[in-house]
Structure 1
Amino acid sequence: MGAAASSAAAGLGLPVSRLSARLGVAALALAAVALGAVTWHRARPRRRRRLRRQQVGTVSQVCIYPVKSCMGVPVDAAECTALGLRSGSLRDRFWMVIKEDGHMVTARQEPRLVLVSITFENDRLIFKAPDMDQLVLPTKLPSTNRIHDCRLFGIDVQGRDCGDEIAQWFTKFLKTEAYRLVQFETNLKGRVSTKILPTEEKYQVAYPDGSPVHILSDASLADLNTRLEKKAKMEHFRPNIVVTGCAAFEEDTWEELVIGDVELKKVLCCSRCVMTTVDPDTGIIDWKEPLETLKSYRLCDPSERHLYKSSPLFGVYYSVAKVGNLQVGDPVYRLVE
């Protein structure tokens, strides 16, 4: 102990050793408080943005498309999982037609796929198509069925073979070459978003083009139809969720949404291709409308051309930030600061 400490001890009438101990304890206590303050400051979580809900519309339709490019199944309510909408064993874009070499087949190559309707009963898919007997397929496949290595827009993905009977059914209906049907399973290799779209949002999908959820508004379709001689249907664009009560193309501006207890985050606007020119009633591909009209007024801003190139935009892709349930009639809330 230094001279000053010794003098202080003498003035207090304390032995030097006892004062030294007391000073040591005090110093340790002060150090602990200081360290605790620093640790608390460093460990304190970053404050979340204060967001409020602003209603922008109401859900008017919910649709699950079990087989890629085939008809959708309207539902009143659905669970929204990280991989998209589901209702029991019925899941969105969990089945896909492929060539025998594993390459995907969509209505771009086989427009008549849009004429295949699907109903769902007791964990079974019931397939119907013009001039075809209906076929029933269980959603639970034998584990002995082959796993195919498939290609979807140049990206590897897997699927379990659905059997010879449904393969022959699609082959007979399409009348062009031999096809098979595969089913995605959650334990199989999916596709990662960053390989599909120019986005930093990371998620997995099964067989959708780009994201787990696709949203479009009634008003946007109504706006398009004011410019078309032959009116387009919502089936031309195949959204999962249709929103009513908003302005045309207002959905382009919705970054974060809450529907039911589901939270969604915008990935990108949906860039459109020749798939939109397949007539959902006839299965005939037009190659022109409504795509040409969309190109006349729905191209992206030049600053975003690296994202969308020359494709027109119609609808929005969303990832699932919080899983949950939603239904027709739910308010659609936009999260704003």
Structure 2
Amino acid sequence: MLRLSALYRYPLKSAKGETLQEIALDKLGLAGDRRWMLVDEASGRFLTQRAVAQLSQLSALWNATGGLTLAAPGHSPINIDLPGANAELRGVTIWRDTLRVPDAGNEAAQWLSEFIGKPTRLVQVPLDRARSTQSGYGRDDDQVAFADGFPLLLIGEASLQDLSQKVGRPLEMLRFRPNLVIEGSEAYAEDSWKRIRIGDVEFRVVKPCSRCILTTIDPQSGERSADREPLATLQKYRSEADGAMFGQNLVNDSDGRLEVGMPVEILE
């Protein structure tokens, strides 16, 4: 039987993830997932571990008020409130999208600028300011917060085991930053799924996930693999026109709630 074996949320794009036992869904995927993002103060362009490796050591936990609690080595934790209705709007760029979203204020900016080492702002995206998902996939009204292209990422446990065997060492699931992990399927079975149901929620499988250099960063130490693994191996046997594929992007078709252990049904 297929079942949901793990749930992960990433409140701040490209920072550490949270391991969850249960979570609600809204129209942008897991509640609170990648609703916050760091941007360069001058340009408004988004920042990730691709350019700022120390983000791998930044903990950003969703707190009871809907805000963030930030913590990092050598820095005292700080609680950041959810921006209010009168918060300053900041123009930001994420990939090819530009939008105006609430800024989290100067206290957060100062803390993060000191941690990163350059002027940085923290921004948050409300439901009513979400982006459209990647053009050419899914439906015209599908939306996403600050995830790269789609609200959710699914990976099968067997797929990770197969990749680990090919690389020759165990690989951490968090290296690939999924939201949903499925056990009980064959390796890469998720490649053929089109629609699935978990609990009362149906999901559309809209696009394979093209992997990048972030997969070579150890999620615990933040160090990059000298041998470029596992990306080098993925490029040998999982390459398509858009890159090396691992995992599937999903869109949820309703709100609802997920809990680890729920059965997974393949609808199509």
TM range (shorter): over 0.9
Rg larger in structure: 1
The count of aligned residue pairs is: 264
**2: CA distance, partners of 1:76 / 1:247:** 24
CA RMSD of aligned residues (A): 1.6
- Aligned position for 1:63: 8
- Which of residues 13, 16, 25 is equivalent to 1:80? 25
2:220 corresponds to which of 281, 287, 291: 281
Displacement of 1:197: 4.3
Match for residue 232 of structure 1?
171
Equivalent position amino acid for 1:137 in 2: I
TM-score, structure 1 normalization: 0.75
CA distance in 1, matches of 2:128, 2:138: 24
Match of residue 271, structure 1, among 196, 210, 215: 210
Whether 2:69 is the aligned partner of 1:126: answer yes
- Residue 200 (structure 1) shift: 4.7
For 1:41-190, list aligned pairs within 5 A: 57-86=2-31, 91-100=32-41, 101-123=43-65, 124-138=67-81, 140-175=82-117, 177-188=118-129, 190=130
Aligned to 1:198: 136
Partner Cα separation in structure 1 for residue 176 and residue 56 of structure 2: 12
SS at match of 2:182: strand
Structure 1: gaps of 5 or more residues: 1-54
Moved beyond 6 Å, runs of 4+: none
In the alignment, structure 1 residue 314 sits paired with structure 2 residue 246:
yes
| Superposed displacement of residue 187, structure 1 | 2.3
Counterpart AA for 1:198: G
Q: Which moved more, 1:252-261 or 1:124-133?
A: 124-133
SS at match of 1:104: coil
- Provide the residue aligned with 2:261 in structure 1: 329
> Do the aligned partners of residues 279 and 197 (structure 1) sit closer, same or farther apart at CA in structure 2, a change above 3 Å counting?
farther
Q: Aligned partners of 1:120 and 1:85: how far apart in 2? A: 12
Map Cα deviations across residues 77-115 of structure 1 (whole Å, 9 max, x no partner).
1112221101xxxx0010000011210001111111111
Deviates more, 1:233-242 or 1:200-209: 200-209
C-alpha separation in 2, matches of 1:201 and 1:279: 35
- Checking the alignment, whether the CA contact within 8 Å between 1:201 and 1:267 is kept in structure 2 is no
Q: Which residue of 1 aligns with 2:230?
A: 290
Structure 2 distance, partners of 1:145, 1:322, is: 29
The structure where strand makes up a greater share of residues is 2
Q: Which runs of 5+ in 2 are unaligned?
A: none
Shift of 1:153: 0.6
Q: The residue matched to 2:75 in structure 1 has which SS?
A: coil
